[in-house]
Structure 1
Amino acid sequence: MLKKALPAAIATALLAGAAASAQAVEISGNVALTTDYKFRGISQSDESPAIQGGFDLGFDNGIYVGTWGSSVDFDSNDGFDGSLELDYYVGWAVPINDNIGIDVGYVYYDYPGDDGAEGDYQEIYGSLSLWDFSLGLAYSDDYYGETGNFMYYQAGYSLGLGMFTVDFHVGYNDLDEEGFLSDGATDYTDYSIGVSASWLAVDWSLAWVGTDLDDEEVFGTDWGDDTVVFTVSKSM
């Protein structure tokens, strides 16, 4: 794995380059409260509420740098001591035309206070948006818990219905080693269907999130079971 200082070094280099090019900078932030922090179909908060937030710097040339954090709870995993996830990322997102766009980047997942589980890992990612469809993939050379190579393939579709947006998502997780899964499993599919809307200057979403994993196949828990997730968020 790369050292934790690497994301900061990348961000510093990009910021310096952008400043030298006199790029205009847009600063944005977000905060959210969710009933369950689900990542790729698996609960990261022991099926309990989580508070989340982050901020981004975006430049005219499409480069962006940001960080995002969430409370986490992996108490059922005896080797994990952390209660916080911090993600650091840098990428480049540009529209090809009004209907097609690309986004490529790097993200580092950091779990401060996690001294025993080797949870920190890095990924490179890319996605292609085609009208209301999206296709994406991510790769890690040493996934969560030092479980080796990992590939993630995903597809999504967004449907606008007046003030509401309906989002469909499916992802395939291909792990090199068993890791946090049990019964010898090294792959699984996650999926979600969600409805979102903006009201009173706040974003509201309700989603059905799940996986095709059997009961107690994630750390011996039901974290991969189908769940309804309600989220309230605010962009700034």
Structure 2
Amino acid sequence: MRRYIAFIIIFMSAKVAFAAEGNTSPTFQLSGDVSLLSHYVENGLSQSDKSPALQGSFWFNFGPQFRLGVWGSNTNFENSDDHFNMRLNADVKVDFSPNAKLVIAYSQSQYYNGGDRNGNILNLHLHFWDYRILYDGFSNWEGTEQRSTRFAFGKVFNVFGSWKWDNELGYNTPDVSNINPYFDARTGLGTKWGVIFFEGALTGTSESSQFNGAGDYFFILSAKTEL
């Protein structure tokens, strides 16, 4: 039921967004990116067991507000056969002003070959200037078959000319009896060299002892280019 509610929200928001743009014609453009990471960490938790990860996303843009796409990454978890994560994505952007927008997104997340972590993700992300306020809801958090929500606040600073200093702090509330709510934090400094954006980032959680090493402090190097 939650899945259908999410699609209805996206569809209705798309109608509002297109109406705000008047008679703007769909662009039907393709876009995407490819990233290479020394370690894949999501919301403070390791997804590749400290191994490198190759990720890619591809989007079909129906216009300036609505798009559908697919994202994929290799993964590695202890005592799991899930070694690849593919997400089917849809998102709608609602512009309030040139410097403020709301992005409503839904992802159907599939893992191969085991599928123990399959689920869906609902995102409500508010961006204004270089700030962002995020809500993320997970139907099968870390393969526990329990729900979890995350609230986060982020800010990007322009430093040293062309460098970007990106910071984010999140608060997670898994509906799991043996896991306490916890904070996750990420800070990263990067710059674009040619067509590639290079970044070094540090991540960690406030309750690392309950994750058996998956929520420790990690330093990550990454390179990303748009297609």
Structure 1 contact 120–144 (Cα < 8 Å) conserved: no
Residue identity opposite 2:181 in structure 1: D
Cα shift readout 1:147-171 (whole Å, capped 9, x = no counterpart)? 3221110110011121101111011
In structure 2, stretches of 5+ residues that fail to align are 19-23
Map of 1:82 onto structure 2: 82
Give matches, 1:136-215, under 5 Å: 136-161=134-159, 162-178=161-177, 184-215=178-209
Deviation at 1:142, TM superposition (A): 4.0
Partner SS state of residue 146, structure 2: coil
Who is 1:72 aligned against? 75
CA distance in 2, matches of 1:40, 1:51: 18
- What SS does structure 1 have at the residue aligned with 2:105? strand
Q: 2:221 aligns with which of 185, 205, 230?
A: 230
Q: Secondary structure of the equivalent of 1:67?
A: strand
Note if contact 2:68-2:90 (Cα within 8 Å) is conserved in structure 1.
yes
- Compared with structure 1, are the counterparts of its residues 132 and 22 closer, same or farther at alpha carbon in structure 2 (3 Å cutoff)? closer
CA shift at 1:191, angstroms?
Answer: 0.4
User: For residues 83 and 139 of structure 2, what CA distance do their matches in structure 1 show?
Assistant: 24
Give the ranges of 4+ consecutive aligned residues of structure 1 lying more than 6 Å apart after TM superposition.
none
Cα RMSD for the two superposed structures: 2.5
Give the counterpart of 2:132 among 114, 131, 134: 134
**Does residue 40 of structure 1 match 2:31?**
no
CA–CA distance in structure 2, aligned partners of residues 64 and 148 of structure 1: 29
> Which consecutive unaligned segments of at least 5 residues does structure 1 have?
179-183
Counterpart of 1:53 in structure 2 is 56
Q: What is the CA–CA distance in structure 2 between the aligned matches of 1:2 and 1:132, rounded to whole Å?
A: 31
| Count of aligned positions | 212
Question: Are the structure 2 counterparts of residues 22 and 214 from structure 1 closer, same or farther at C-alpha, using a change threshold of 3 Å?
Answer: closer
Identical-pair percentage = 23
The equivalent of 2:121 in structure 1 is: 123
Q: 1:200, 1:232 → 2: CA distance?
A: 12
Greater helix share, structure number: 2
| Whole-Å separation in 2 of the counterparts to 1:185 and 1:141 | 16
* Aligned counterparts, 1:14-33, within 5 A: 23-33=26-36
Measure how far apart 1:206 and its partner are: 0.7
Q: Is the CA contact (8 Å cut-off) linking 1:122 and 1:143 kept in structure 2?
A: no
Whether the 8 Å CA contact 2:107–2:121 is kept in 1: the answer is: yes
**TM-score normalized by the length of structure 1:** 0.82
* Alpha-carbon distance in 2 for matches of 1:142, 1:32: 25
Name the counterpart of 1:181: none
Q: CA deviation at 1:94?
A: 2.9
CA–CA distance in 2 between the matches of 1:146 and 1:228? 26
When normalised by structure 2's length, the TM-score is 0.85
